Amino acid sequence: MARSKNVYRCSECGAEAPQWTGWCSACDASGTLEQVTVTASGPRAPSSLAPSSPAMPIAEASVGGAVPVPLGIPEADRVLGGGLVPGSVTLLGGEPGVGKSTFLLHLAAAAANQGRRVLYVTAEESAQQVAARAERIGAVAQGLWLAAETVLPQVLGLVDDVKPDLLVVDSVQTLLDPEQGAVPGSLAQVRSCAQALVAEAKRRELTVVLVGHVTKDGALAGPKVLEHVVDTVLSFEGDRHHALRLLRATKHRFGGTHELGLFEMGDGGLMGVPDPSTLFLADRQVGVPGSVVVPVLDGHRPLLVELQALVVPTQAPMPRRTAQGVDSGRLAQVLAVLDRRAGVSVVKADVHVAVSGGVKVREPGADLAIALAVASAVTERPLPPQMVACGELGLCGGLRQVLGTDRRLAEAARLGFTSALAPSSAPDPPPGLRVDRCSSLLDAVAATRLVQR
Ligand code: TYD
Ligand code: MG
């Protein structure tokens, strides 16, 4: 017999809890548990049905697996491991205004130019707005169909009419399934719309790309559940004040998630950036104190970026520390090591550190470069212009090698740098680059003549 009971359901991820708590134990979202009444049926004897597809030996199952179809946008194909797999569903997340709609318009036009039939459904902007943008960015292509529609059954009707190979829906949060009473963007709506589109994708071998909005803290808004139903989750990131946009895969059922795609947003839309290091270093001033070039690794991709530091003496009891593109906790730690282990003190000074080009450096490989930039700013002595520095700094002042040092050094050599300051265990450098090995930060500041031993 059916019984009703009250449970608490998370509006973020859909997990249920028997009691109300401030946090959802499944996804850590706070204040998202809402009381719902569910009807539970009594225990049922399990019954077996004929399987819809029989089990088979794994070796046979893997033959002729998913084959990606290239989009013809090298930076996107790189992230997707070759392109979009027919019948797959991809979710593209990103903050409002970062350029998701622009990117998907480029993607849709590229697919259409390769002879595929593409349907772009806009559920946020009018068809005129999208068409005007397409014209501006050169994304008008034969085989690219456009419709403004927000109601799910109508979208499926459009798919019946147009019979596309690729369907783009911008965005899943503004789509409405009339069978669900809830408002668009709610968990029930988003889940229902996404599941219907996933079913359609599998049924027709239709490739689907959905836009999903993200909240301020960078999580996909509402539909955590959505991440589980789609095959690939892409994120589109960038700083509003800079032209650089980064494309990454955070989940990819058909390949790795280590590749990074780079684009530049301009008046004519997005352009791929095949050689980012050259772009980041284009306006570098050489021979100024406080500037260090560091080879960082983002996914598998080495990037050369310039780190800058400015140190200004102050009488204020609490000197300021600002970090742009660098983690502020990491900066505080590097300053402490610099003070205690290398004798470079900034306790009576404001310290500002920034990374050029709107890049965010999240890895410890930039520690040595941060320390050298600050030491160079304190002493007002510039570092050699053709030198790069990379290495992780331990609390005791020792230098450790970081992941992919060989690839970082190769990138530095490719761009014409002639020397690298690196930890003792660094691999042999490529031709044209000399490695100055240092076991500690004290060695490094002495080797660069910033501080006398
Ligand atoms: P959009 O693709 O609408 O972002 P999203 O869909 O993620 O909300 O892009 C919005 C921003 O991009 C807008 O503020 C202006 C900028 N932009 C350009 O700089 N150049 C262009 O060619 C286009 C189309 C947009
Ligand atoms: Mg948009």
One digit per residue, the tens of pLDDT, for the chain of length 453 reads 557 888 888 877 777 888 888 888 877 778 888 888 877 666 667 778 888 778 888 877 765 567 999 999 999 999 999 999 999 999 999 888 999 999 999 999 999 999 999 999 999 999 999 999 999 999 999 999 999 999 999 999 999 999 999 999 998 989 999 988 777 777 788 888 999 999 999 999 999 999 998 765 555 555 567 888 899 999 999 888 889 999 999 999 998 888 899 999 999 999 999 888 888 888 899 999 999 999 999 888 899 999 999 999 999 999 999 999 999 999 999 999 999 999 999 999 999 999 988 888 989 999 999 999 999 999 999 999 999 999 999 999 999 999 999 999 999 999 999 999 999 999 999 999 999 999 999 999 999 988 776
Q: What pLDDT is stored for residue 141 in this prediction?
A: 95
Q: CA-CA distance, 48 to 172, in Å (whole number)?
A: 36
Ligand 1, closest atom to CA 124? Answer: 6
Ligand 1, closest atom to CA 170? Answer: 6
Query: Is beta strand 244-252 parallel, antiparallel or unpaired with respect to 260-266?
Result: antiparallel
Q: What pLDDT is stored for residue 256 in this prediction?
A: 87
Q: Which ligand is nearest to the CA of 236?
A: 1
Angle between helices 127-136 and 100-113 (to 10 degrees): 70
Q: CA-CA distance, 408 to 406, in Å (whole number)?
A: 5
CA of 274 to the centre of ligand 1 (A): 21
Q: What pLDDT is stored for residue 332 in this prediction?
A: 97
CA of 356 to the centre of ligand 1 (A): 22
Q: Which ligand is nearest to the CA of 102?
A: 1
Record the tokens describing residue 370, joined without a space: 């941060």
Residue list, ligand 1 pocket, CB within 6 Å? 94, 96-102, 133, 136-137, 265, 267-269
CA of 248 to the centre of ligand 1 (A): 18
CA of 116 to the centre of ligand 2 (A): 23
In 3D space, the residue among 250, 266, 357 whose CA is nearest the CA of residue 303 turns out to be 357
* Residue minimizing CA distance to atom 15 of ligand 1: 97
* Residue minimizing CA distance to atom 9 of ligand 1: 99
CA of 100 to the centre of ligand 1 (A): 8
Cβ contacts of residue 49 below 8 Å, gap of 6+?
none
Q: What pLDDT is stored for residue 188 in this prediction?
A: 81
In 3D space, the residue among 89, 79, 38 whose CA is nearest the CA of residue 223 turns out to be 89
Ligand 1, closest atom to CA 240? Answer: 14
Ligand 1, closest atom to CA 95? Answer: 7
